[in-house]
Structure 1
Amino acid sequence: MSRVFHVPPVPGEGRRAVPHARSAAYSRSGEPARSGEHAGQAPGGGPARTGIVAGYLSPHPPHLVYAENPPQNEPRSQGGWEVLRWAYERLRHRIRHVHRPDVLIVHAPHWITMVGHHVNCVPNPKGVSVEPIFPHLFRYHYDFRTDVPLAEAIADEAGALGLVTSKLREPGVRVDYATIGALHMVNPEWDIPVVSLSANNNPYFYSEASLGEMEVLGEATRRAIERTGRRAVLLASNSLSHLHWHEEPPVPEDMEREHPYNDHQYRWDMKLLEAVRRGPTAPLRELISEHIEATASETKAGSLTWMLAAMGWPPVAGDVLGYGTIIGTGNAVVEWTPNGDREGDHHG
């Protein structure tokens, strides 16, 4: 059945106001800036190289945004889940001071499309994103810029490689909470342009469907980045083990109640993360599938496979910045760079 989501290669297409800070990654003409026009220079001051400069496993549970108490989110909290939030603080430092991207590209499991892969090509999405299960935690007012030329290029490359694709152009579309949650935790200033990709949901319904399509989408993403000359950071918005509690405590941020769903789920998360820390990434191809079967992992949506495939399954170890559970699910913030180079990971 997964074959119905492929087509022969063909040319062409297959409230409360929150101030918007115009991205430094845009030139004065409104087009994404080229290297040297903005802070996206190499740390030594020379021209920044283009291509994929880093990829992050960046989970999106709404509790993390809730605990941050940003002005865009209506509910207020007392904090919580600090280890994961501190991991995101380290990630933000690397984004700002090491990678300095032109664009953030995110693949999220809760923008669900039943037929094919969709790319958000709306220039300035804005609205309110509500988490349907936890609306008391996540009602987020968003307003951001899309790198439309890159978004269109990804859709075109995916179509040329035989994937069913669509360019979303509906200006009133409501952006899903997984996309918003990951982007906020990575860049709460919202001053870097974005491209967001949907999750083709057919693997949830057709057992013979595999993660192979996500590797093709990753290749299309890489080609588009290189063709447009972008300096890109990729975000795979997945949790790991994904069994979770069905009832939350009276105070959602009560950390006394936070622990792994069970030992089996935790042990498999550790097995996967130990392989990540050892490197290289190639063995993860099979281990991700085994982890999905063992834990109902959210990586079944394909975001992690897409990201690592786009990076060419780099022969490096991943840097696990932090791990923690949220309502029992396993969540890790992990960085991969093409050459394993993390120079500049310091404060000061």
Structure 2
Amino acid sequence: MARVFHATAGSGRSAARRAPRTEPAPAPSAPGRDRGGIVAGYLAPHPPHLVYAENPPQNEPRSTGGWEVLRWGYEELRRRLKQHRPDVLVVHAPHWITMVGHHVNCVPNPRGVSVEPIFPHLFRYHYDFRTDVDLAEAIVDEGAKAGLVTSGLREEGVRVDYATIGALHLANPDWDIPVVSLSANNNPYYYSDASLAEMETLGAATRAAIERTGRRAVLLASNSLSHLHWDTEPELPEDMSVERPFDHHQYAGDMELLRVVREGPTSRLRDAIPAHIEATSSETKAGSLTWLLAAMGWPAIAGEVLAYGTVIATGNAVVEWVPS
């Protein structure tokens, strides 16, 4: 049945509108110090345990720490983020799942409590942030122009998913930078052999909207890597004596992907990401990482791995790409 989803995702009408590509989209020019454009992209995984371990005031549960190596990687990400001086953070996360098309949060000031459904004892987070509505609406528009089924979420009071909140908190706990958040279409998330081509189209549309609005943007792909995990947890969730990879095969798959990341260029990841999905049940099947790299124009650079670690056995890496 999964073969059905090898067809171009979206409705028949959207497929008819989508003009066939005869050549790759041109790579974006690097933004100047004060010009708009994508200034950096980060693989920014969202395990709720990392937020829990930091004990921010917004999160109700309290911890004694844990997962320090990944948290140190996020500390370095935050330091670099300040140097990039972005106008906006644009995040694509796998747990805002939409059944039809791609949705963009256009609510000016989302507020509420985000609860992780499997770990509510770790993540009950009170959020209150600003959306860059102009950019959000531009992404909806550019996605539609590219033939995608896109929708703007404009309903106040809709709860923001924990993957979006987790990645945004870990990247910028001050919440002093406006945000645009994008949904994960149901098709690539549930079918590991589905084509990621539509995520490339969404990435190009995101880049077009950023350049059209003149924003200095940092992109966050909120994916873990290998995604097999334990079905029980220790009495103390932050007990690091039980934290390890699910098995050697999952760990080896992550190391192979990160080898390609560190060697570059990013174009090699076009083949490496699907292979990693097949080998490890990787969460990159949600398309966030492909979206990020496509938005950056698959630059001929290597990524810098700031940290790698496991959370309940899943592989997680914090990685930076900065276009030259």
Structures share fold, TM-score greater than 0.5: yes
Aligned with 2:108 (options 82, 99, 123): 123
In structure 1, what is the Cα distance between the partners aligned to 2:242 and 2:111?
35
Question: Contact between 2:310 and 2:316, CA under 8 Å: does it hold in 1?
Answer: yes
SS, match of residue 83 in structure 1: helix
Q: Classify 1:305/1:71 alpha carbon distance in 2 versus 1 (closer, same or farther; 3 Å).
A: same
Aligned to 1:197: 182
In 2, the alpha carbon distance for the partners of 1:217 and 1:329 equals: 27
Which residue number corresponds to residue 79 of structure 1? 65
Gap change, CA 1:208 and 1:134, over 3 Å in 2: closer
Higher helix proportion (structure 1 or 2): 2
Pair 216,230 (structure 1): closer, same or farther in 2 beyond 3 Å: same
CA separation of 1:236 and 1:251: change in aligned 2, threshold 3 A:
same
Q: What amino acid is the match of 2:209?
A: A
Q: Retained in 2: the 8 A contact 1:9–1:159? A: no
- Does the CA-based 8 Å contact 1:58-1:182 persist in structure 2? yes
Which one-letter code corresponds to 1:63 in the other structure? Answer: H
CA–CA distance in 1 between the matches of 2:63 and 2:226? Answer: 25
Task: State the partner residue of 1:160.
Answer: 145
Q: Which residue of 2 aligns with 1:291?
A: 276
Residue of structure 1 in register with 2:196 after alignment: 211
After TM superposition, what 4+ stretches of structure 1 lie above 4 angstroms from structure 2?
204-208
**Deviation at residue 201 of structure 1 after TM alignment:** 1.1
> Counterpart in 1 of 2:154?
169
Q: 1:258 to 1:268 in 2, by over 3 A?
A: same
Q: Aligned pair count?
A: 304
Query: Secondary structure of the equivalent of 1:3?
Result: coil
Matched residue of 1:184: which SS? Answer: helix
- Within 1, Cα distance between the matches of 2:258 and 2:192? 26
Q: Pairwise mapping of residues 130-149 of structure 1 onto structure 2 (< 5 A)?
A: 130-149=115-134
With normalisation by structure 2, the TM-score equals 0.91
In the alignment, does 2:104 pair up with 1:99? Answer: no
CA distance in structure 2 between the partners assigned to 1:82 and 1:99 by the alignment? 24
Please state whether the residue corresponding to 1:322 is helix, strand or coil.
strand
1:111 alignment partner, SS class: strand
Q: 1:291 to 1:207 in 2, by over 3 A?
A: closer
Deviation at 1:4, TM superposition (A): 5.4
Question: Is the 1:59–1:236 contact (alpha carbons within 8 Å) kept by the matching residues of 2?
Answer: yes
Listed one character per residue, the Cα deviations across residues 148-199 of structure 1 (whole Å, up to 9, x for unaligned) are 0000000100011011011000111000000000000000000000000000
Q: Percent identity?
A: 76
Q: Which of 28, 32, 42 in structure 2 is aligned with 1:56? A: 42
Counterpart CA distance in 1 for 2:119 and 2:277 is 24
**Is the 2:266–2:302 contact (alpha carbons within 8 Å) kept by the matching residues of 1?**
yes
**Structure 2: runs of 5+ lacking an equivalent:** 19-30
Q: Secondary structure at the match of 2:155?
A: coil
1: CA distance, partners of 2:274 / 2:84: 30
- Counterpart Cα distance in 2 of 1:204 and 1:48: 36
**Backbone CA RMSD of aligned residues:** 1.5
- Name the residue aligned to 1:5: 10
C-alpha displacement of 1:207: 6.6
Alignment of 1:232-271 (within 5 A): 232-271=217-256
1:50 shift after superposition: 1.4
